[in-house]
Amino acid sequence: MAEKLMQKVEMEELEEEEEEVEDQLEDWDDWNSDEEDSDRGFICLFCNMKYSSTETLFEHCSSTHHFDFQSIRESLGLDFYGCFKLINYVRSQVAENRCWTCGLTCQSNKDLLNHLHEPVSLGDSKNFWQDDKYLKPYMQEDSLLHSFAEDEDGEDDCTTSVDREELMKELGITLDFENICIDDGNTFDLVCSKPDTNDENVRKASSSASSSLFNVGDQLEKAMVDLIETKDNIGFTHKRQEDKHKRLQFAETVAKKIKNANENYFGSYSSFGIHREMISDKVRMDAYMGAILNNPSLLNGATILDVGCGTGILSLFAAQAGASRVISVEASHKMASVATQVAKDNGLLWNGSFTGGNNQCTGVINVVQGMIEELDESLNIPPNSVDVLLSEWMGYCLLYESMVSSVLYARDRWLKPGGAILPDTATIFVAGFGRGGTSIPFWENVYGFNMSCIGKEVAQDAAQLPVVDVVDSHDIVTNAVVLQSFDLVNMKPQEMDFTASVELEPKSGHPGDNHTDLQPKITWCYGVVLWFETGFTSRFCKEVPTVLSTSPYSPETHWYQTIFTFREPIAMASGKPECNGMAEIGTETCPAMKIQSRISIVRAEQHRCIDISLETVGICCDGRKRSWPVQIFRL
């Protein structure tokens, strides 16, 4: 009687578990249907056509645009990240009307679509998208980036043999021997369930049934077929989970890279050498000291937030100017300790206590260790309670180090409406430089020996890597123009990435000009140089506004200038020289009257670095133009 009762209970449990499996499969089907209903389609890499599946999209790209994604992936052995980069690379090139395989820039998207062709050498093309910057999605909400692996998953399902243990492990399923019902050794039912090693009944049933399992080989094969069919039913869910896992892996990789970059970046500021260099920069210190100490109406009695205080020198100036409270934030553990000790040694460290009965704090500077984005974890500052936001955030080429984003974060969270930012403006300038701005002259005469072969090689390397160095004002051969301006009161973080076009004309009367009274003035432009200025304007510094300039025409600073060298120098001429219509523009027989430069500066995938692209066009006196291949630099 008891045995029959137990069998009845087991059968009821079996039926309940079967119902649960069916419910799960129905839920998966509903999920599948919902996902398909919400699918917004996949946009073509080259035109505006939209497709409901990646398969039809790639068929279109192959037949219409000569882009065979599957063939490229297989021939180059691209993994998930390689395919991810390729898609972003192609989209970025098409946005610039540039052929993804040969690099030719077309006048319009229509011209580009007519130009597209089969890649000549895939092996050479692969290098184009190796840069990790293409791990950043070029197009927002690009559904293709999360779906291109679908076809690959399908092929694996068809071609890969099914291993029993691997399949069971993959599905997260184990055989529940408690629910294997053997009837006369001919038939049995198999229920799939999650493992439950704590179930005593399972262990007992497994033991009692083990002797009968030797005779059910055929039934086990049938059960494996059922499992495979189950896998087909839940394949969509499994793929979604796999895609989610890949995305999480990708996000974790990016987060780890950012963390490492931040640690290296802030760690580099633990060296006293770099702080001595910055404090010894007279132009830098005079500008900040003047803005802080010479504008009492701004600083006296104010609450100051110093972002990236370093040694705390600017915070000391703010305290000296009469600030009632200075919150000094420094991410480097070592320098935060140093700034604390410096403030203490100068009697300016706030310790949260009052002295005697005069109700006065012992100091006003409160040093907080950590990134500004994590300040809330260490200190409770009411939102919009800071009067003045102070920071020396500028890097080479202004935007290197990307610290301005931290300043904007602090502005949006803690600065009062109408509060001041020091400095409050920033401007990038560009000009062309001549032969003296390169290292070529140095190597032509080394203690009387000709080493020009070294100079040529160095110049070739400079056409690939930016150079941070001093450019003498006498070596500037064109007018200087504004490339981009920023107003930190209204600036948005995405404005750090920009593209701007400028037109450069040769300076007249340049001492390096090679001419006679009968010849046009020829000037050779070897590249462009960038520098910046930051302004402490009268908007906030009403008594004494000031400017910090890193121009070649100003005293040298520790920022120097940033040099981008052309692959070949361009001849320029002022006035209206005679042009040889058969000669190439930019040569001595057909000098350019103007150089048009299109410069893009964007934050690189490598955290705190920036990528700079340089497109150059020479225009001669008869209006003809010559374009040089785009140059990509990373700073």
Positions marked catalytic: 392, 401
Strand 174-175 relative to strand 192-193, pairing? antiparallel
390 by DSSP, 3-state: which?
Answer: strand
Is residue 494 a contact partner of residue 404, using CB atoms and an 8 Å limit?
no
Spell out a b/e string for 80-98, using b for 16 or more CB atoms within 10 Å of the CB, else e: eebbbbbbbbbbbbbebbb
**What CA–CA distance (Å, rounded) separates 313 from 318?**
9
Q: Which residue has the tokens 């990038």?
A: 428
Q: Considering Cα of 436, then 617, then 47, then 151, what sign does the dihedral take? A: negative
C-alpha pair distances (Å), 501 with each of 96, 483, 613 = 14, 7, 12
Q: Which of 350, 354, 353 is CA-nearest to residue 340? A: 350
Residue 615: DSSP 8-state: E
Count other C-beta atoms under 10 Å from residue 23's C-beta: 10
**What CA–CA distance (Å, rounded) separates 16 from 562?**
72
Spell out a b/e string for 579-592, using b for 16 or more CB atoms within 10 Å of the CB, else e: beeeeebbbeebbb
Q: Which of 297, 502, 491, 522 is CA-nearest to residue 408? A: 491
The three state secondary structure string of 447-507 is CCECCHHHHHHHHHHHCCCCEEECCCHHHECECCEEEEEEECCCCCHHHHCEEEEEEECEC
CA atoms in the 13 A half-sphere facing the CB of 532:
22
C-alpha pair distances (Å), 392 with each of 308, 395, 422, 423 = 7, 9, 8, 8
105 by DSSP, 3-state: which?
Answer: strand
**What CA–CA distance (Å, rounded) separates 327 from 307?**
8
Q: Considering Cα of 297, then 298, then 299, then 302, what sign does the dihedral take? A: positive
